Amino acid sequence: MNTEILKVDRDNLGGVSMAHAGEIIRSGGLVAFPTETVYGLGGDALNPKSSKKIYEAKGRPSDNPLIVHIADLDAIRKIAILDESCYEIKDIEGTVNRLAEAFWPGPLTIILKKTDAVPYETTGGLDTVAIRMPSDKIAAVFIRESCGYIAAPSANISGRPSPTKVSHVIEDLSGRVDMIIDGGDVDIGLESTIVDLTEDRPYILRPGAVTEQMLRAIIPDVTVDKGLKKDSDAAPKAPGMKYRHYAPKGELTIVTGDIDRVIDYINDRAQVCKADLIKCGVICPDEHILRYKAPVVKCTGRLGDEEAVAKRLYSILREFDAEGVEVIYSESFDSDGIGSAVMNRLIKAAGHKIVQV
Ligand code: AMP
Ligand code: MG
C-alpha cells in the first residue's frame, strides 16, 4: 500500500487536503493523525471493516478495544446510552457533562455503555465504549471532515512505544495505512487518562495527564482500579493494561532510592555491561548527566519537570532501540501529578523490574 504523507499547516486547516483525509475514512481507509496525547491510527468507528483493518495494521490483539474520538459533545448520544436506569452511578448525564466541561476537549477518555451503532469490532467485544474528544486542532478538523467518529488506538505497531513524533508513525506504519497526517511533535506524549462510569463508582483504569486529584475535584468518589496498584494481584480492568505495552528492545530496569546510591548502583551496572561488551543506556534528568559513566545517557529534561519526562519518554525508548542499546537503567520519576502516569508506563516498559537501593 502506498502511504500518502500529508504535511499540514495548523493555522490553515480549511483546505482540500483535510477533506481528502475525511474521504479516505468514509471509504473505509485508515489515516494516522496527531492528537495532543500521542499519534492515533484512525478509521471509521462505526464501520466494523475499518476497525478490523486497524487491528491488522497494528498487529493488535482483537480483544483490546479502541477509543472512539469525537469532535462535538452532542456526538456522544449516537454511540453511548445515557439512560439513568442503565447505570449504578447516579445522574450519569450530569456526570458526563461535568467531566466534559472540565476536561474536554482534552486528554480524558470516558467509558460508557454502548449503543447498537458501535460495532463489537470497535469495542473488542465489550458492551461498553471508550470516548474521547481530543483538543488538537488537526484532530478536531479531521474528525469533523470524516464521519464524526474515529476509532483510534496509538499509531504504533503493537508492543512498541506509542508515537510522539511523525517519524515514529512513519517508521511503524508506512505501507500499512492510506495516509499519515504530519502535525509535528505532540504536546503531552502519554496516552489519555481513562475513567470508567459503568460500574458501582467511577474508576480510573489508566493514569494520564488528567490526574486523580483533578478528577476528584469533579467526581469526588473516583478511585483507582485495584489492578493498577503496585502491590495488588488483581488484573487491570482496561483490557489494554494487561499487555506488555511500551516496550523497548533493550532490557529496562528502574532504580529507586537515595539519588547518590541510585547513581552509584547504575554506574556499577554500567561497568559490568562494559566488561561484558553489552551496550548500556541510562535515563535521567538533565542535572545528573555528568554523573553517569554509561556510553549512552538520555535526558528527560530538568529535574522535577514531569511534563518534560512525559513528552520525551517514548521518544527516548525508541532512540535506545535505534542505537542498539541492550540494557537500560532509568531513574524513577514518581509524583502525584503526571509523574504517576509516567511511572505507570515506565514500570510496564520495564516488565515490572524495579530495584530499590
Ligand atoms: P490505546 O488506544 O492504544 O491507547 O488503547 C486504548 C485502551 O483503552 C485499550 O487498551 C483499553 O485498555 C482501553 N479501553 C478502550 N475501550 C475500553 C472499554 N470499553 N473498557 C475498558 N477499557 C477500554
Ligand atoms: Mg497504544
Atom of ligand 1 at shortest range from CA of 154: 3
Q: What is the pLDDT of residues 262-297, one digit of tens each?
A: 999 999 999 999 999 999 999 999 999 999 999 999
Name which residue sits closest to atom 13 of ligand 1, judged by CA: 238
- Buried-exposed string 156-167: b where 16+ CB fall within 10 A, e elsewhere: bbbebbbbbbbe
CA 111 to ligand 1 center in whole angstroms: 9
pTM score: 0.94
Which ligand sits closest to the CA of 239?
1
Which ligand sits closest to the CA of 127?
1
What pLDDT does 16 receive?
79
- Residues 145 and 18 sit within 8 Å (Cβ to Cβ): yes
- Residues 155 and 43 sit within 8 Å (Cβ to Cβ): no
CA 317 to ligand 1 center in whole angstroms: 22
Delineate the domains of the chain, giving CATH numbers in brackets.
Answer: 4-234 (3.90.870.10), 251-356 (3.40.50.11030)
Name which residue sits closest to atom 11 of ligand 1, judged by CA: 240
Cβ neighbours of 66 (radius 10 Å):
28
Residue 182, strand partner residues: 7
Instruction: Kindly give the parts of the chain with pLDDT less than 50.
Output: none
Q: Euclidean distance between the first and final Cα of the chain, in Å?
A: 50
What pLDDT does 172 receive?
96
CA 73 to ligand 2 center in whole angstroms: 24
SS3 at position 284? strand
The grid coordinates of residue 128 equal 461498553
Best residue among 35, 55, 66, 158 to mutate for probing ligand 1's pocket (most ligand atoms within 8 Å of CB) is 66
Q: Please name which of 202, 130, 150, 146 lies closest in space to residue 46, comparing C-alpha atoms.
A: 150
How does DSSP assign 86-137, residue by residue?
Answer: G-SSSSHHHHHHHHHHHH-SSSEEEEEEB-TTS-HHHHTT-SEEEEE----H
CA 238 to ligand 1 center in whole angstroms: 6
CA 199 to ligand 2 center in whole angstroms: 24
CA 304 to ligand 2 center in whole angstroms: 26
SS3 at position 170? helix
What pLDDT does 236 receive?
73
Q: Which residues line ligand 1 (CB under 6 A)?
A: 64-65, 67, 111, 123, 126, 128-130, 153-154, 191, 194, 205, 238-241
Name which residue sits closest to atom 7 of ligand 1, judged by CA: 240
Q: Please name which of 162, 327, 345 lies closest in space to residue 252, comparing C-alpha atoms.
A: 327
Which ligand sits closest to the CA of 118?
1
Q: Is the peptide bond before 105 cis (omega within 30 degrees of 0)?
A: yes
Atom of ligand 1 at shortest range from CA of 66: 15
Atom of ligand 1 at shortest range from CA of 128: 19
What pLDDT does 244 receive?
62
- Taking the C-alpha atoms of residue 68 and residue 131, their distance in angstroms, rounded to an integer, is 5
CA 162 to ligand 2 center in whole angstroms: 6
What pLDDT does 231 receive?
66
The grid coordinates of residue 352 equal 515490572
Residue 204, strand partner residues: 195, 224
- Taking the C-alpha atoms of residue 194 and residue 30, their distance in angstroms, rounded to an integer, is 24
Number of H helices, E strands in the chain: 11, 16
- Residues 194 and 90 sit within 8 Å (Cβ to Cβ): no
| Cβ partners under 8 Å of residue 322, min gap 6 | none
CA 162 to ligand 1 center in whole angstroms: 14
What pLDDT does 243 receive?
59
319 class by beta-carbon count within 10 Å (0-12 exposed, 13-18 middle, 19+ buried): middle
Residue 110, strand partner residues: 131, 195
